[in-house]
Amino acid sequence: MTLKKDLISIKHLCKADVEHILKRAESLEDVARGERSLDLLSGYILATLFYEPSTRTRLSFETAMKRLGGTTIDLGSIDISSVSKGETLADTIRVVEGYADCIVLRHPKEGAAAMAAEFTSKPLINAGDGAAHHPTQTLLDLYTMKRESKLEGVKIALAGDLKYGRTVHSLVFALSMFNAKISFVSPPQLAMPDGIKNDLTAMGIEFEETEYIEDVIDDIDVLYMTRIQKERFADINEYNKVAGAYRIEAKYLTGVRDNFIIMHPLPRINEIDPDVDDTPYAKYFEQSFYGVPVRMALLLTLLGK
Amino acid sequence: MTLKKDLISIKHLCKADVEHILKRAESLEDVARGERSLDLLSGYILATLFYEPSTRTRLSFETAMKRLGGTTIDLGSIDISSVSKGETLADTIRVVEGYADCIVLRHPKEGAAAMAAEFTSKPLINAGDGAAHHPTQTLLDLYTMKRESKLEGVKIALAGDLKYGRTVHSLVFALSMFNAKISFVSPPQLAMPDGIKNDLTAMGIEFEETEYIEDVIDDIDVLYMTRIQKERFADINEYNKVAGAYRIEAKYLTGVRDNFIIMHPLPRINEIDPDVDDTPYAKYFEQSFYGVPVRMALLLTLLGK
Amino acid sequence: MTLKKDLISIKHLCKADVEHILKRAESLEDVARGERSLDLLSGYILATLFYEPSTRTRLSFETAMKRLGGTTIDLGSIDISSVSKGETLADTIRVVEGYADCIVLRHPKEGAAAMAAEFTSKPLINAGDGAAHHPTQTLLDLYTMKRESKLEGVKIALAGDLKYGRTVHSLVFALSMFNAKISFVSPPQLAMPDGIKNDLTAMGIEFEETEYIEDVIDDIDVLYMTRIQKERFADINEYNKVAGAYRIEAKYLTGVRDNFIIMHPLPRINEIDPDVDDTPYAKYFEQSFYGVPVRMALLLTLLGK
């Protein structure tokens, strides 16, 4: 097991680590649903430090902790904390580690989590550091594929904003462990960066690129949609054209595979029409829920339980 | 029992439901006061979603849950949640139901709670949807009358803003179940809407209207005061005149009945002089506390305990 | 024991009270670290009311409560509470006491805590009222000296802003109980107020005043640094000069006593160079942690456990 004190990046995990966490998550799913009680973290405190808001990630960690009998403390929104008095992140971490057994950190700056982890002897989990990493999102994405479609050898299309999307960059690395066949579907101005494509080629991972979802939709197990942010476009007309093209509706799903599923890290805005929600392919709300058992498994592992 | 999955409006409850909840609340009062331990909701999670602030309602639900051994998670203030990224309420509800066993929702839009309840299989409690409903406030109001004065056949005066006050509209409906005799006391511009008065007449419920509290104060069991909001008046002088007339002082309470009580949903501003607080008639702080046992009873009922 | 229902000011405690709390805190340190479980406050609820933000104080109380098996409810930031509707503090307290077994209050107005305590039968702890008192900070400061250096007869220098610093005023009073020898080190414009110096003289407590830390550093057990706030100075050049002079670096610490320690109420800005953190003298993060066992001891005492 290469997973030691902290989880900063999915790149620090080997395939055995990932498989261990996913397997443990599966055994905890009934606890996550509240169908079985488990008090393994009774007496333990998780501190959540969100230097930028991420409601669902925070709530998901809180629920994971509480379903295991633990409790949480929250730093609160940054403008009302001592951060506004000019305290460094290093100092805040050294204070908070006196109040908790484990720390979850979301921070807008790339590298913040790795730096923070050096200042505490308690386990620290990166819940997103700028455009860099968000490893628990990647783990729950993998878990969703395993539970709802397939993971090993999965044929997956990543669609939407592949240039700026932190989620898809981490996911691509993780998929490479599982011999995935990847299609990148994006408008040219939001294409997957060359650096990541070069890495894939070096690792011998197959991938293809296209501009249209319809080119791939009938031949994949998983369609992973992402949000295209208006602020990426200088011209609103350009945005509207792209946003329209990267919107899934139920009528496009007539020829898909049996185990086909649609995933989305949420929140969605216009990328998926609500008429898709009632199809058997819509798994984005399950995906969101799967954050709970996956984070439970991770907390137990990092806390040595 | 007509109470099934959700509590959206007091109008969805029959008298037997209300009586069941009030009776159960009474048996839980010592638990609510922290005098007796009860762990019936150990392992259960309540999610509180307040799209507009209501500190006392939120805290009261939190305490109800915690006194029963349960825990809570809170969406936080809306401007820092994913709501600001444009997520629909329906999506937020479907995400949150993955983290909790029961959802409490306060929302500024009428009908929000009923809509939200359709998107989740978990019990949803309406903690106020715009000008429409706030059923747990009504239940604790009824409980206060039962405990501190009388409920069946109560003679009650509702005083202040009867036009815009959500609290009194729901309460009037509920009182109709208990053969109350109701006096509406308000300035003409804030009178009880005709629609509600017509409903009462159709149900055969006695009511009278007057402009002055002194007309009724010696002949009632309960005086239910409400806040008159400055922003309802175009002219500040008009407001000042009305606010002065709808202010209770201790000296007005010399001829009241033995079981007379004063209630107020709080916060009060100027409607009740602090010199009333020391009289035996002041029951508004007890009323606030009674939100705890009533919400405990409701949570246990909805969670099938 | 003079400590009864509330803790408003350190001045209300006698030496035996302080010693009792410090001794009890010591016996709880392993619980505070999460090394031993203790459920003495299971079922108890602590309400935290922070009318101005103080993240570390709030988190420290939350952890103290949760390490003892209790839970907390938080009023939240004031602008989103019913405070913004104009409710008085007295009313808020009377509402909140219905939801909790103990109340922690931070308020910008001097005297707020004493006033609030009169309106509730539940124990109330002052977590800072304007420039006046912050007794739990004082208790954890004393505890830190006892654990890391010495308390009875301690030679201590208080350095920085001694004029406006609430922390040091309360601390000076408490130190007088323990026969401390005190040096006040500050720029003239931020000197300890005459009133406090007169009190010390009346009590027969030795103190000296100087402008330079180097005058005292080799002859003290404890250097207590405080933050010098830019907003105290009309002229930024004046501030920069003072801020530079009241900054500790590791190179100044070559001739200090064996049991010498540096304390700081945190957050620090520039008063202590990060190169001090790695010396054996830096005890400010331990000091921050010691807030947990001290507050645990206080909560248990006030709740009669």
Q: How many domains does chain A have?
A: 2
Residues C276, C155 share a domain:
yes
- What does the alpha-carbon distance between residue A111 and residue A114 come to, in Å, rounded to a whole number? 5
CB atoms within 10 A of CB C212: 12
Residues A30 and A86 in one domain: yes
- Report the neighbours of A using a cutoff of 3 or more CB pairs below 8 angstroms: B, C
**Count of CB pairs separated by less than 8 Å, A with C:** 68
C3 part of a folded domain: no
**Residues A198 and A262 occupy one common structural domain:** yes
Query: Is B241 part of any domain?
Result: yes
A36 is catalytic: no
CA proximity to B21, closest of B38, B34, B2: B2
Closest CA to B174 of B209, B127, B134: B134
Whether A4 is catalytic: no
Same-domain check for residues C18 and C128: yes
**Interface with A, mutate which of B44, B71, B72, B93 (most A CBs under 10 A):** B71
| C5 lies in some domain | no
- pLDDT for C80: 47
CB neighbourhood size of C234 (10 A): 8
Is residue A50 located within the same domain as residue A154?
no
Asked whether the beta carbons of residue C289 and residue A96 sit closer than 8 angstroms, the reply is no
Could you say which of C5, C56, C241, C305 is catalytic? C56
| The pair of three-digit structure tokens given for residue B270, joined into one six-digit string | 């100027």
Q: Are residues B94 and B72 in the same domain?
A: yes
Show the CA angle centred on residue A274, arms to residues A269 and A279, nearest 5°.
130
Residue among A161, A112, A108, A153 nearest A9 (CA): A112
**A95/A230 Cα distance (integer angstroms):** 39
Annotated active-site residue in C58, C134, C227, C247: C134
In terms of domains, do C261 and C295 share one?
no
In a domain, A140, yes or no: no
Q: Is residue C272 assigned to a domain?
A: yes
Length of chain A: 305
What values do phi and psi take at C250, rounded to 5?
-60, -35
A262 with A296, same domain: the answer is no
Told to judge if A264 belongs to the known catalytic residues of this protein, a careful annotator would answer no
Contact residues on chain C for B53, CB-CB shorter than 8 A: 76, 80-82, 84
Q: Which positions in chain C have a beta carbon within 8 angstroms of at least one beta carbon in chain A?
A: 34, 37, 53-56, 58-60, 62-63, 66-67, 71, 77, 266-269, 274, 285, 288-289, 291-292
- pLDDT (tens, 9 = 90+) of chain B, 305 residues, equals 678 899 999 999 999 999 999 999 999 999 999 999 999 999 999 999 999 888 899 999 999 999 999 999 999 876 545 555 678 999 999 999 999 999 999 999 999 999 999 999 999 999 999 877 899 999 999 999 999 999 999 999 999 999 888 788 889 999 999 999 999 999 998 999 999 999 999 988 889 999 999 999 999 999 999 988 887 788 888 888 888 888 999 999 999 999 999 999 999 988 999 999 999 999 999 999 999 999 999 999 999 99
Range(s) of the domain holding residue B126: 10-133+291-302
Q: In a mutagenesis test of the B interface, which of C73, C92, C101 is the best target, namely the one with the most B β-carbons within 10 Å?
A: C73
Instruction: Tell me if C143 is assigned to some domain.
Output: no
Cα–Cα distance measured from residue A141 to residue A28, given in angstroms and rounded to the nearest whole number: 17
* Whether pTM exceeds 0.90: yes
CA distances from C277 to C203, C220, C284, C285 (A): 36, 19, 9, 9
10-residue block means of pLDDT along chain A (305 residues)? Answer: 87 95 98 96 97 92 98 80 72 97 95 96 95 92 98 97 86 94 94 93 92 96 91 82 87 96 93 96 98 98 96
Q: Which residue does chain C place closest to A74, by CA atoms?
A: C59
pLDDT digits (tens, 9 = 90+) for C40-58: 999 999 999 999 888 899 9
C181 and C231 share one domain? yes
Chains touching chain B, criterion 3+ CB pairs below 8 Å:
A, C
Residue C53 and residue C174 in one domain: no
Active site residue C106: yes
Domain check: are A199 and A158 in the same one? Answer: yes
The catalytically annotated residue of B56, B230, B241, B305 is B56
Same domain, B263 and B162: yes
Reported as half-sphere exposure (CB side, CA atoms, 13 A), residue B111 has a value of: 0
CATH of the domain at B76: 3.40.50.1370
Q: Is B246 within the bounds of a domain?
A: yes
- Gap from B289 CA to chain C (nearest CA, Å): 5
pLDDT at A80: 47
Q: Which residues of chain B lie closer than 8 angstroms to C82, CB-CB? A: 53-56, 266-267
3-state secondary structure of B156: strand
Q: Is residue A1 part of a domain?
A: no
